[in-house]
């Protein structure tokens, strides 16, 4: 499938519009839910950390430190990607699956159009903007942690800000974005495969969306493990 996606390109004037439409559907329309989840999960991480710091000898800036590490290393890239497998992945599978069962893909083929390039390539390009969403998630996750810590009275603003600067390793951000790039590719291709090669009718579209979510999540989790092993334990 992938080799066909990158051959016989659709003309640029048409492709440009398709990419813009996919960026809107897959990226822009995901910002709301990602922001909401990130802010509150960041807050919960901070609260959980604070409640587990019973020892008075442990500095309060650990709340900021733990929130930053959790959000940047795991929550934003991995947890949000699994959520996106549900939102974006289901959208891709169901839209391509519906096009399959209503013969719209056959209609494109009969016109002599490379359907792989026309339908899947714009989704891959749109998901190049996926790190943008993860950046928002990282930022809002930490802000959520900050808000929860301050308004919950778990630490002072100075402690939290000191914590998020403590032992900061820029490579961890690079690691997070390397993971994100792999997850973006999985998010674009696995659901596309399940939608494009769907057989059957409306019922199968629903089943394919579920299967696509499961496989995308599984692949994200496995890829996460492999990349972490390769990049952080060397």
* Class of residue 112 by CB neighbours under 10 A (exposed 0-12, middle 13-18, buried 19+): exposed
Residue 110 touches other proteins, criterion: CB under 8 A: yes
Alpha-carbon distance values, 34 to 12, 26, 75, 144, 179 (Å): 31, 12, 11, 13, 17
Q: Residues binding other proteins: what is the number (CB under 8 A)?
A: 16
Region from 107-115, 141-149, 188-196, 197-205 binding other proteins, contact rule CB under 8 A:
107-115
In the set 32, 56, 112, 153, which binds other proteins (CB under 8 A)?
Answer: 112
Residue 103 touches other proteins, criterion: CB under 8 A: yes
Question: Are 142 and 43 spatial neighbours (Cβ–Cβ below 8 Å)?
Answer: no
Question: Percent helix, strand and coil across the chain, each rounded to 5?
Answer: 85, 0, 15
Structure tokens at 167: 């032992």
Least Cα distance to 148 among 41, 54, 53 occurs for 41
Which one, 13 or 233, has the nearer CB to other proteins?
13
Distance separating alpha carbons of residues 124 and 184, to the nearest angstrom: 8
Region from 7-15, 67-75, 127-135, 178-186 binding other proteins, contact rule CB under 8 A:
7-15
In the set 107, 169, 202, 230, which binds other proteins (CB under 8 A)?
Answer: 107
Which one, 15 or 136, has the nearer CB to other proteins?
15
Residue 10 touches other proteins, criterion: CB under 8 A: yes
Structure tokens at 194: 């399940």
Which one, 7 or 174, has the nearer CB to other proteins?
7
Q: Min. distance of Cβ 89 from other proteins in angstroms?
A: 20
Q: Min. distance of Cβ 25 from other proteins in angstroms?
A: 10
Q: What residues make contact with other proteins under the rule CB under 8 A?
A: 8, 10-11, 13-14, 98, 102-104, 106-107, 109-113
């Amino acid at each position: 499938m992938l080799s066909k996606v990158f051959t016989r390109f659709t003309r640029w004037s048409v492709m440009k519009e398709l990419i813009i439409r996919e960026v809107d559907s897959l990226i822009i329309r995901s910002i709301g839910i990602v922001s909401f989840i990130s802010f509150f999960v960041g807050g919960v991480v901070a609260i959980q950390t604070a409640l587990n710091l019973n020892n008075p000898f442990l500095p309060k800036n650990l709340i900021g430190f733990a929130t930053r590490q959790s959000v940047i290393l795991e929550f934003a890239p991995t947890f949000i990607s699994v959520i996106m497998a549900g939102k974006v992945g289901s959208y891709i599978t169901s839209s391509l699956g519906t096009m399959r069962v209503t013969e719209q893909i056959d209609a494109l083929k009969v016109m002599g159009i490379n359907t792989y390039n026309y339908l899947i390539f714009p989704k891959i390009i749109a998901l190049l903007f996926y790190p943008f969403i993860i950046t928002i998630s990282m930022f809002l996750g930490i802000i959520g942690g900050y808000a929860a810590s301050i308004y919950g009275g778990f630490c002072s603003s100075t402690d939290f800000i000191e914590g998020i600067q403590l032992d900061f390793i820029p490579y961890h951000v690079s690691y997070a974005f390397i993971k994100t790039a792999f997850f973006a590719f999985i998010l674009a291709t696995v659901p596309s495969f399940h939608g494009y090669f769907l057989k059957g009718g409306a019922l199968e579209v629903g089943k394919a969306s579920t299967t696509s979510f499961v496989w995308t999540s599984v692949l994200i989790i496995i890829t996460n493990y492999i990349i972490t092993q390769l990049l952080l334990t060397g």
